[in-house]
Chains A and B, each alone.
Chain A
Amino acid sequence: MSAHGPVLSLCDVLDLDQATSRDLAVRASGLTKRFGDRTVVDALELAIPRGSVCGFVGPNGAGKTTTIRMLLGLIQPSAGSGTVLGGDLGQPQSYLHKVGALIESPAFYHHLSGKNNLLALARLAHIDATTIPDVLDRVGLLQRADDLYRSYSLGMKQRLGIAAALLAAPELLILDEPTNGLDPAGIVEMRDLIRSLADEGITVFVSSHLLSEIEHICDRLIMISDGKTVFQGEVAKLRATRGDELILRPESESSLASLLTLVQRAGFAARVEEALLSPPTVVVEAGSDQAAPLNRLAMHADITLIHISERARSLEEAFFELTGTHSRDVETAHSLGSVT
């Protein structure tokens, strides 16, 4: 549960409590990592159903990469337990042969070609080298397979990372910021690739700071903040839980406080929202069906509303509310179109 503001329940965790390891690609309970006195991941709960595309979001330093590294056996958890594809988290060799991963930025030998970089990984995992052209073709790098890695663009390096993750014909694909460095066309291609992999039944666990991307490609979402799970469940459920808002603007700004009190007394959650370039408004947590009653209520109190509109709560707003990010950060992030 989040320590920040209004907390959303871990809605699907309860359902998933009944799920077995056969149903879940990843399950972790109380997953904790401490570096000295600093707790980076704090009793994290994870439940990722097989066949899902699950987004993993959180502010910088929330513990996403550390969590991913724990799942991949690169970092030993300080506490907690879990399973990945039925294998014990403490025995990564029992499941990593079925997992493909791109961890942070792609890391390869600069002086080797893309093909030879994959050959080194294929040999290490005793994977048939004849699969290399297939995975390179899948990410659109077959024509550049013999070029040195250092000559690749950032987007090509990212795609080689995806190719490396696909080498083992994975059942679970863990992608850490897969759209980093990609141009808009590359992002669309990556989105299509991830969807096509999911269509093949591969479970995809993807972390991203681009919430719009997560909205596009994921059917489930795990949000973390300060190393703790603040939400996990279906994206649609998160949107539904957050509900819509009505924006009310009175003719006179001096009526704002009266309007706010009036609406709150009527039983609605409301707040005044101020913005730099537009007049302040009263934001009411209510759907469009409440527009007319609220208008009448204001009219009876001699407050003239010159603007009533409905605003759908975006995933970003839910994210910021759940993670307790400050409004200034929200504005910055909105202007950038991303969450960082």
Chain B
Amino acid sequence: MIVDAFRSEWVKLRRTTLVLGVFGGLAAAASFFVVLLFSQAAAVGPGTADLPSLQVLAQPNGLIHGVNRVVVLLGIVAFGVAAFQIASEYSLGTLRQLLVRQPRRRILLTGKYLGVITFIVAAVVAASLIAGGVAVIMAHVRHVPVGAWFSGTGVKDLTEALGELLLAVVGFATLGMAVGLFLRSAVFAVIVGLAYLIAIENIVGRVLPSLNRWLPGQLLLGVGQGGNATTTFPRALLVSAIYLAGVALLAANTFRRRDVTA
């Protein structure tokens, strides 16, 4: 049963060091970003693309500026955690134990996937809540009125932005799990994945800007930001979904057929 595989995965995920590391790390990073955003922002004017002014931050969609800028950070963490969780089953040799107890590989993989995804989503939600609290404190410090944030429009915009962020994070995590399954080495999977997302896409995007619209990392960034200069949100969502569905099917099929020799 998928629910059994899901519950089994959570026995591994709920360990203190991992929870503190991922939940605490994400919350700390997001909060630090909020502190930087408010402390460095100019008081008036439109601000820059990277650094909006306090005047802009005070608007109903002010917090969204913060959310949009942490997509890459959260995506990379989601990718790394997911890749590590699945690839380490090969590295440690624990996969053979798991498959003896659950030989239906699709069920095992689905349960593990749902476990990792819920863990990452929970970490992102927790980090968002904490960073939101820090934003309120920082707004108070910089005398930014926050009333607009909690207006109907503000809450709606923020909810949408968080939803898009979570979709992107789920996408990055799915990509991470697929890479982990293909490479079967936790360290190798994380290094290769992050090198691709951080370095290779960046280089390719600079050399051939027209390709940005088709690169998976850029598309997921577009999803997380609700659309950007490179792509619209619906297009980013559609193409990402096609990419991820293809990769996930290929990974699942490989997992189902491949001999377990580790």
Contact = CB atoms under 8 A, between A and B. Distances in A.
Contact of A125 (B4, B18, B96, B257): B4
Contacts of A167: 101
Contact of B98 (A93, A104, A112, A124): A124
B259 A93 contact: no
Interface in A103-143: 103-105, 107-112, 116, 119-121, 123-126
A92 interface: yes
A164 B257 CA distance: 25
Contacts of B8: 120-121, 123-124
A135 to B, nearest CB: 13
A76 to B, nearest CB: 6
B103 A73 contact: yes
A72 B102 CA distance: 11
Given A112-B15, A116-B11, A74 B1 contact: no
B128 to A, nearest CB: 27
B260 interface: yes
B5 to A, nearest CB: 6
Contacts of B104: 93
A96 interface: yes
Nearest to A126: B4
Given A73-B99, A108-B97, A112-B11, A124 B259 contact: no
B17 A105 contact: no
A236 interface: no
Given A69-B261, A73-B103, A124-B4, A107 B15 contact: no
Contacts of A108: 92, 94, 97
A218 interface: no
Contacts of B93: 104-105, 107
Contacts of B111: 124
Contacts of B101: 96, 121, 124-125, 167-168
Given A72-B100, A105-B93, A110-B92, A119 B261 contact: no
A75 B261 contact: yes
A211 interface: no
Nearest to B91: A107
Contact of B259 (A76, A164, A168): A76
Given A108-B94, A110-B92, A99 B100 contact: yes
A24 interface: no
B140 interface: no
Interface residues of B, number: 29
Contacts of B7: 123
Nearest to B88: A109
User: Interface extent on A, as a size class?
Assistant: 20 to 34
Nearest to B9: A120
Contacts of B18: 111
A339 to B, nearest CB: 23
Contact of A93 (B11, B12, B103, B260): B103
A117 to B, nearest CB: 8
A74 B92 contact: no
Contacts of A121: 8, 97-98, 101
A105 to B, nearest CB: 7
A142 B155 CA distance: 52
Interface in B62-111: 92-94, 96-104, 108, 111
Contacts of A44: none
A101 interface: yes
Nearest to B5: A124
Interface string A232-269: 00000000000000000000000000000000000000
A103 B100 contact: yes
Contacts of B100: 72-74, 96, 99, 101, 103
B230 to A, nearest CB: 40
Contact of A74 (B4, B17, B102, B260): B260
Interface string B15-46: 10110000000000000000000000000000
11 contacts: A73-B103, A74-B96, A76-B259, A103-B97, A107-B92, A107-B93, A107-B97, A109-B92, A111-B15, A119-B11, A120-B8
Interface of B: 1, 4-5, 7-9, 11-12, 15, 17-18, 92-94, 96-104, 108, 111, 257, 259-261
Given A74-B261, A96-B100, 8 more contacts: A96-B103, A104-B93, A107-B96, A108-B94, A109-B94, A121-B98, A121-B101, A124-B98
Q: Which 8 A-B pairs have the closest CB atoms?
A: A107-B93, A124-B8, A125-B101, A74-B260, A123-B8, A120-B11, A92-B103, A75-B259
